[in-house]
């Protein structure tokens, strides 16, 4: 049955209707009066889509890319300040609101600055040229006699000037982005390249920052969704009397989509716990214990050669003196692990919907929500608000869909808050990866042939969006399929080996729903490739750094590796390190390198570890990273991203694995799915390379890619034992030290 | 419906609750508008909801409101404001020790409890005091530096 607005009135609930909903939308904005911009241009080729100059000379920046805590909120301001020539503190920023910002694509793939910022930069540069032209007309001078300075167009002799506000305040630029509009001279940057503090930090550390989770609307109900006890189970019956004791709590049911709503949040929580429901059937999940085997045995949807050069026949028929080596690397399913479980708020009334979400792709999901609600896309507005950090697609879009369906059903604004168990159990997961590598090593210790075979779950072509849990449960038709991200990149080595065959075996299935997770695929791929390079170096009796440098032609790659080596005081010698096998603690060092996607950011990472032999516990004591992402708008924000990449990926490599039985995920809290804690945090030393004249390449992901390999290489150096399956939990390390398969 | 009197950030407040056992977290956020205290797990596992109760760092997600009626509750908002941050908050700002910031309130509050017990903790003590506060963005190194900076008087 569906719970309606009328039911609620009968139940004696306090209902705020009609006119009060309109102001609630404005109240919900993070920027006061943002709705005054409704109707503004949104086309991403128009300057007015990105920028507005007001009568007081202040500037509003409209960004389709959002800041999930990465620093875009200051970096985008710095870009506009530099190119438009205004002070950054004069700029207000509106992010990810589909009614106010241009669609710049999802905030993903490390493209926030590299693409979104570059687009914005061109808009601001075009805007400055437009202001110079307006100033020329106003001052009766040629543009060549004019310059800009902090919101003013003036003659170069300084005798006459006119402010941006006087020229265009509250009026439109009315011009298209000019790809040739001249950019500022990097040698004279005033704001780009400076570590300006982020505007959101003071409010975040004092509890005043407003998150999506904090949003309340007049008349809003709190909801909790009850997911089935088994994947795909059908709801047979609901016993509404089971929540009769909870004040004001009501059941909402649409087919197998089941929720409770209440005026008070705690009552919704209690009702969700108390509600008795009968479920039947379901689609059994695969066997977790054997899923890597089933990946290898899977039917192949498609073979995709990534790199094929030379002749790899030495792998199967090695000549005299040629040694062969083969290894298999396994990467398990991971949760995004956001600290705040997903939340969604929606107000659906009549033929309109406003949805507040921490989605990294509000523009993309607008049409998706519209389809589910049966509304025209132009009737749906999705507004980004900060959630807990997201690193790909967590449960945010699903929670928003939950809220939208419930709001539509009951005719009131609804806030859905997922529980911790919901998030771990139901957020779309980072996919598992299986890579087998082979190499032939000639008598000089050179790589005569290299082969990578990667078994990876395939993304569905042209999938408009990840299918919503709620829509499936409510039997609302939607395109089915999976998304995994560009997980095939970096399965091939970044070194100039003459004979390479790297191929992806795309497989149709994954154990659970998947979505892109930070640096999709590249962490596991680099783990396999850069660990295997280390294995080859060890077989050849070569120093791991020298072995890499010998076949690395990219000078920027050489530079980051050399910087790390210098900082670590790298001693050239083969691994493992000669050590007393009876020592309680073995220590070692490892190194790894990635050229992200082979054409973006370059990262080298060194790691020092201690392995406690008795317990199998790994302690990472030191991480050294050199990082070249081209132009850095804000180096301190880049540094924070590097630190975050290192620590999050150490957590994933040391601790994390999603486990499930035949019905559902069983690792549904932080005890069953532990992550890195403060006592484990190593010293992190980062060397950032600034390239003012180069394009920005992105910093959100790349430094995560070499982490697991550097770690595994360091453990090998310390112990002579090679870890090839993540996570490196103590019991697994202990088994490996004892000579059992790791 | 029960009427409870509690003292939050040195102010006496009265709340009407259907269930007097309602976790303090929900009362702070929804009845008192103090949304700086965050829901992370409801299981006392992550620390995002940490508040001070009589000066001790406490997980508000598992603390029944009825249990704090005679005690002093301090939330993140009670420490300082963006305009007047307390020394720990000022140190977090100086170190830019937050990314998404969702876990940060709990860490600032936990750090306050630590510094009240131990004015000059060493790094190991800071790490231990924050061992129950989880962070996913990877701001840990900055948080440690910020707490040590606050302990050193902001330097």
Residues A248-269: tens digit of each pLDDT:
999 999 999 999 999 999 999 9
Assess whether pLDDT exceeds 70 at residue A8: no
- The partner residues of B17 in beta bridges, in order of sequence, read B2
Q: Give me the helices (H) in A275-335, please.
A: 291-297
Place A579 in a pLDDT band, splitting at 50, 70 and 90.
Answer: confident
Contacts of B34 in chain A (CB under 8 A): 207
Contacts of B22 in chain A (CB under 8 A): 264, 266
* Total domains, chain A: 3
Same domain, A604 and A698: yes
Assess whether pLDDT exceeds 90 at residue A24: no
B84-114 pLDDT, tens digit per residue, is 999 999 999 999 999 999 999 999 999 999 9
Mutation target to probe the A interface, by most A beta carbons within 10 A, among B4, B17, B26, B39 is B39
Query: Taking a C-beta distance cutoff of 8 angstroms, is the pair A269, B29 a contact?
Result: no
Strands (E), chain B: 2-8, 11-17, 50-53, 56-59, 72-74
Assess whether pLDDT exceeds 50 at residue A496: yes
- Please state the length of chain B: 155
DSSP annotation string for A224-253: EEE--SSTTPEEEEEEGGGGTTSTT-EEEE
Give the structural domain span for A721. 520-737
Query: Taking a C-beta distance cutoff of 8 angstroms, is the pair A345, A29 a contact?
Result: no
Contact (CB<8Å) B85/A202: yes
Residue A626: inside a domain: yes
Same domain, A232 and A141: no
Same domain, A259 and A377: yes
Residue A201: inside a domain: no
**Nearest CB neighbour to B131, from listed A337, A648, A678:** A678
Minimal C-alpha gap between A518 and chain B (Å): 11
Q: Give me the pLDDT at residue A30, please.
A: 61
Residue A501: inside a domain: no
Assess whether pLDDT exceeds 80 at residue A378: yes
Q: Give me the pLDDT at residue A110, please.
A: 84
Residue A397: inside a domain: yes
Contact (CB<8Å) A206/B36: yes
In angstroms and rounded to an integer, the radius of gyration of the C-alpha atoms of chain B is 15
**Can you tell me the mean pLDDT for A367-395?**
97
Same domain, A172 and A237: no
**What is residue A83's three-state secondary structure?**
helix
Give me the total of CB pairs closer than 8 Å, taking one residue from chain A and one from chain B: 190
Residue A503: inside a domain: no
Q: How many helices (H) and strands (E) does chain A have?
A: 20, 24
**Nearest CB neighbour to B104, from listed A204, A248, A266:** A204
Q: Give me the pLDDT at residue A306, please.
A: 98
Torsional sign, CA A478, A479, A484, A490: negative
Q: Please report how many Cα atoms fall inside a 13 Å half-sphere around the Cα of residue A486, on the Cβ side.
A: 11
- Distance from the first to the final alpha carbon of chain B: 50
Contact (CB<8Å) B93/A214: no
Q: Residue B27: closest CA among chain A residues belongs to which residue?
A: A266
Minimal C-alpha gap between A625 and chain B (Å): 14
Contact (CB<8Å) A644/B137: yes
Assess whether pLDDT exceeds 80 at residue A19: no
CA distance A532 to A437: 7
Same domain, A578 and A713: yes
The structure tokens 């697609």 sit at A393
Share of chain A above pLDDT 70, in %: 96
Query: Taking a C-beta distance cutoff of 8 angstroms, is the pair A505, A455 a contact?
Result: yes
* Residue A392 sits at the chain B interface (C-beta within 8 Å): no
* Residue A201 sits at the chain B interface (C-beta within 8 Å): yes
Residue A532: inside a domain: yes
Which of A190, A225, A260 finishes a domain?
A: A190
Mutation target to probe the B interface, by most B beta carbons within 10 A, among A621, A678, A686 is A678
Q: Give me the pLDDT at residue A336, please.
A: 98
**Can you tell me the mean pLDDT for A341-347?**
98
CA distance A604 to A706: 7
**Secondary structure (H, E, C), A32-64:** CCHHHHCCCCCCCCEHHHHEEECCCCCEEEEEC
Angle of helix A635-655 versus helix B140-151 axis, rounded to 10? 110
Contact (CB<8Å) B35/A213: yes
Contact (CB<8Å) B137/A69: yes
A164-175 pLDDT, tens digit per residue, is 999 999 999 999
Same domain, A559 and A638: yes
- Please give the C-alpha separations between residue B15 and each of B26, B33, B71, in angstroms, as whole numbers: 11, 12, 15
Assess whether pLDDT exceeds 70 at residue A107: yes
Residue A60: inside a domain: yes
Contacts of B125 in chain A (CB under 8 A): none
Q: Give me the pLDDT at residue A326, please.
A: 98
- Please state the length of chain A: 742
**What is residue A456's three-state secondary structure?**
strand
Contacts of B36 in chain A (CB under 8 A): 206-209
- Please give the C-alpha separations between residue A246 and each of A264, A410, A570, in angstroms, as whole numbers: 10, 19, 65
Q: Give me the pLDDT at residue A741, please.
A: 66
Structural domains of chain B, ranges and CATH numbers in brackets: 2-78 (3.10.20.30), 87-151 (1.10.150.120)
Same domain, A630 and A721: yes
Same domain, A220 and A138: no
Minimal C-alpha gap between A314 and chain B (Å): 44
**Nearest CB neighbour to A340, from listed B40, B76, B131:** B40
Q: Residue B104: closest CA among chain A residues belongs to which residue?
A: A205
Same domain, A679 and A727: yes
**Can you tell me the mean pLDDT for A640-654?**
98
Minimal C-alpha gap between A703 and chain B (Å): 12
Residue A170: inside a domain: yes
CA distance A239 to B29: 31
**Can you tell me the mean pLDDT for A89-116?**
94
Place A361 in a pLDDT band, splitting at 50, 70 and 90.
Answer: very high
* Residue A69 sits at the chain B interface (C-beta within 8 Å): yes
For A:659-688, CB contacts with B below 8 A are: 669-671, 675-679, 681, 683-684
Same domain, A156 and A231: no
Write out the two tokens for A680: 């484990």
Minimal C-alpha gap between A431 and chain B (Å): 19
Same domain, A221 and A147: no
CA distance A459 to A451: 23
Contacts of B128 in chain A (CB under 8 A): 678-679
CA distance A278 to A260: 15
Burial profile A202-211: b = 16 or more Cβ within 10 angstroms, e = fewer: bbbbbbbbeb
Burial profile A121-143: b = 16 or more Cβ within 10 angstroms, e = fewer: bbbbbbbbbbbbebbbeebebee
Q: Residue A636: closest CA among chain B residues belongs to which residue?
A: B96
Write out the two tokens for A401: 């869909």
Q: How many helices (H) and strands (E) does chain B have?
A: 5, 5
* Residue A704 sits at the chain B interface (C-beta within 8 Å): no
Contacts of B26 in chain A (CB under 8 A): 264-266, 269
A442-455 pLDDT, tens digit per residue, is 999 999 999 999 99
Which of A426, A442, A467 finishes a domain?
A: A426
Contact (CB<8Å) B45/A669: yes
Contacts of A338 in chain B (CB under 8 A): 102, 136
Q: Give me the pLDDT at residue A26, please.
A: 36
Look up the CATH number of the domain holding residue A413. Answer: 3.30.365.10
Assess whether pLDDT exceeds 50 at residue A556: yes
Which of A426, A449, A472 finishes a domain?
A: A426
Q: Give me the pLDDT at residue A740, please.
A: 78
Contact (CB<8Å) B136/A339: yes
Positions of chain B with pLDDT lower than 50, given as ranges: none
Residue A427 per-residue DSSP state: S
Same domain, A550 and A686: yes
Place A3 in a pLDDT band, splitting at 50, 70 and 90.
Answer: very low
Which are the contacts of A39, defined by CB distance < 8 A and separation ≥ 6? none
Angle of helix A396-410 versus helix A362-373 axis, rounded to 10? 30
Assess whether pLDDT exceeds 90 at residue A742: no
Burial grade of A165 (CB within 10 A; 0-12, 13-18, 19 or more): middle
Write out the two tokens for A585: 């603690």
**Can you tell me the mean pLDDT for A57-76?**
96
Mutation target to probe the B interface, by most B beta carbons within 10 A, among A207, A265, A360, A648 is A207
Minimal C-alpha gap between B98 and chain A (Å): 7
Burial profile A665-694: b = 16 or more Cβ within 10 angstroms, e = fewer: bebbbbeebbbbbbebbbebebbbbebeee
Q: Give me the pLDDT at residue A29, please.
A: 47
């Amino acid at each position: 049955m569906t719970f309606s607005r009328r039911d609620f009135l009968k139940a004696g609930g306090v209902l705020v209707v009609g006119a009060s909903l309109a102001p609630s939308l404005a109240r919900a904005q993070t920027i006061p009066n943002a709705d005054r911009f409704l109707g503004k241009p949104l086309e991403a080729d128009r300057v007015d889509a990105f920028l507005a100059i007001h009568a007081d000379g202040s500037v509003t920046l409209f960004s389709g890319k959002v800041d999930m805590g990465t620093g875009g909120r200051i970096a985008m301001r710095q870009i506009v300040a530099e190119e438009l020539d205004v002070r950054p503190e004069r700029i207000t920023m509106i992010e990810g609101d589909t009614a106010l910002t241009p669609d710049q694509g999802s905030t993903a793939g490390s493209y926030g600055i590299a693409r979104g910022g570059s687009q914005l930069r061109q808009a601001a540069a075009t805007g400055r040229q437009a202001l110079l032209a307006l100033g020329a007309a106003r001052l009766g001078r040629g543009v060549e006699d004019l310059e800009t300075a902090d919101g003013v167009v003036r003659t170069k002799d300084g005798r006459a000037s006119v402010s941006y506000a006087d020229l265009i305040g509250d009026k439109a630029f009315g011009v298209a982005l000019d790809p040739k509009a001249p950019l500022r001279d990097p040698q004279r940057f005033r704001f780009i390249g400076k570590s300006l503090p982020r505007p959101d930090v003071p409010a975040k550390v004092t509890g005043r920052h407003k998150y999506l989770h904090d949003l309340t609307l007049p008349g809003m109900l709190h909801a909790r969704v009850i997911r089935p006890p088994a994947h795909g189970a059908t709801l047979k019956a609901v016993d509404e009397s089971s929540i009769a004791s909870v004040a004001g709590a009501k059941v909402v049911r649409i087919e197998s989509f089941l929720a409770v709503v209440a005026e008070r949040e705690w009552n919704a929580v209690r009702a969700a716990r108390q509600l008795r429901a009968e479920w039947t059937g379901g689609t059994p999940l695969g066997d977790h214990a054997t899923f890597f085997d089933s990946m290898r045995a899977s039917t192949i949807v498609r073979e995709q050669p990534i790199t094929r050069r030379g002749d790899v026949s030495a792998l199967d028929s090695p000549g005299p003196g040629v040694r062969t080596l083969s290894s298999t690397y396994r990467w398990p399913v991971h949760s995004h692990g956001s600290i705040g479980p997903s939340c969604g708020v929606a107000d659906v009334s009549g033929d309109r919907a406003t949805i507040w979400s921490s989605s990294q792709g509000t523009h993309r999901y607008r049409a998706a929500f519209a389809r589910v609600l049966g509304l025209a896309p132009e009737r749906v507005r999705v507004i980004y608000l900060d959630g807990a950090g997201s690193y790909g697609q967590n449960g945010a879009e699903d929670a928003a869909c939950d809220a939208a369906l419930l709001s539509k059903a009951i005719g009131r604004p609804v806030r859905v808050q997922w529980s911790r168990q919901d998030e771990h159990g139901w957020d779309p997961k980072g996919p598992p990866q299986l890579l087998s590598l082979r190499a032939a090593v000639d008598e000089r210790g050179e790589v005569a042939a290299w082969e990578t075979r990667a078994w990876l779950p395939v993304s569905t072509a042209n999938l408009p969006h990840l299918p919503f849990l709620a829509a499936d449960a409510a039997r609302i038709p939607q395109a089915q399929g999976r998304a995994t991200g560009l997980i095939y990149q970096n399965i091939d080595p970044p070194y100039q080996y003459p004979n390479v065959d790297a191929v992806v075996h795309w497989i149709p299935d994954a154990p659970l729903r998947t979505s892109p997770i930070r640096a999709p695929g590249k962490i596991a791929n680099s783990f396999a490739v850069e660990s295997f390079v280390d294995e080859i170096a060890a077989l050849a009796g070569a120093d791991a750094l020298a072995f890499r440098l010998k076949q690395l032609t990219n000078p920027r790659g050489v530079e980051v590796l050399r910087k790390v080596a210098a900082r670590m005081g790298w001693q050239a010698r083969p691994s493992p390190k000669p050590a007393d096998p009876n020592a309680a603690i073995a220590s070692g060092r490892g190194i790894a390198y990635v050229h992200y996607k082979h054409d973006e950011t370059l990262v080298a990472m060194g790691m020092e570890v201690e392995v406690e032999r008795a317990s199998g516990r790994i302690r990472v004591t030191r991480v050294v990273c050199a990082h070249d992402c081209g132009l850095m708008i804000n180096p301190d924000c880049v540094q924070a991203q590097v630190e975050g990449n290192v620590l999050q990926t150490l957590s994933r490599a040391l601790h994390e694995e999603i486990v499930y039985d035949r019905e559902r995920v069983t690792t549904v809290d932080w005890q069953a799915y532990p992550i890195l804690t403060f006592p484990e945090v190593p010293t992190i030393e980062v060397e950032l390379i600034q390239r003012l004249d180069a394009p920005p390449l992105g910093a959100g992901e790349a430094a995560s890619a070499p982490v697991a390999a550097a770690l595994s290489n360091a453990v090998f150096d310390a112990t002579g034992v090679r870890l090839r399956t993540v996570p490196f939990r103590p019991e697994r390390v202990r088994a490996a030290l004892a000579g059992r398969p790791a | 419906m029960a009427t409870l009197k509690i003292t939050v950030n040195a102010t006496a407040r009265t709340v009407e609750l259907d269930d007097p056992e309602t976790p303090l977290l929900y009362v702070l956020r929804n009845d008192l508008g103090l949304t700086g205290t965050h829901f992370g797990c409801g299981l006392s596992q992550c620390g995002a909801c940490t508040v001070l109760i009589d000066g001790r760092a406490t997980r508000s997600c598992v603390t029944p409101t009825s249990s704090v009626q005679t005690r002093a509750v301090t939330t993140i908002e009670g420490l300082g404001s963006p305009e007047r941050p307390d020394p720990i908050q000022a140190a977090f700002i100086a170190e830019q020790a937050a990314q998404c910031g969702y876990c940060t309130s709990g860490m600032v509050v936990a750090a306050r409890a630590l510094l009240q017990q131990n004015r000059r903790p060493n790094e190991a003590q800071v790490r231990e005091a924050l061992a129950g506060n989880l962070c996913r963005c990877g701001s840990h190194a900055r948080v440690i530096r910020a707490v040590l900076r606050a302990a050193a008087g902001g330097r």
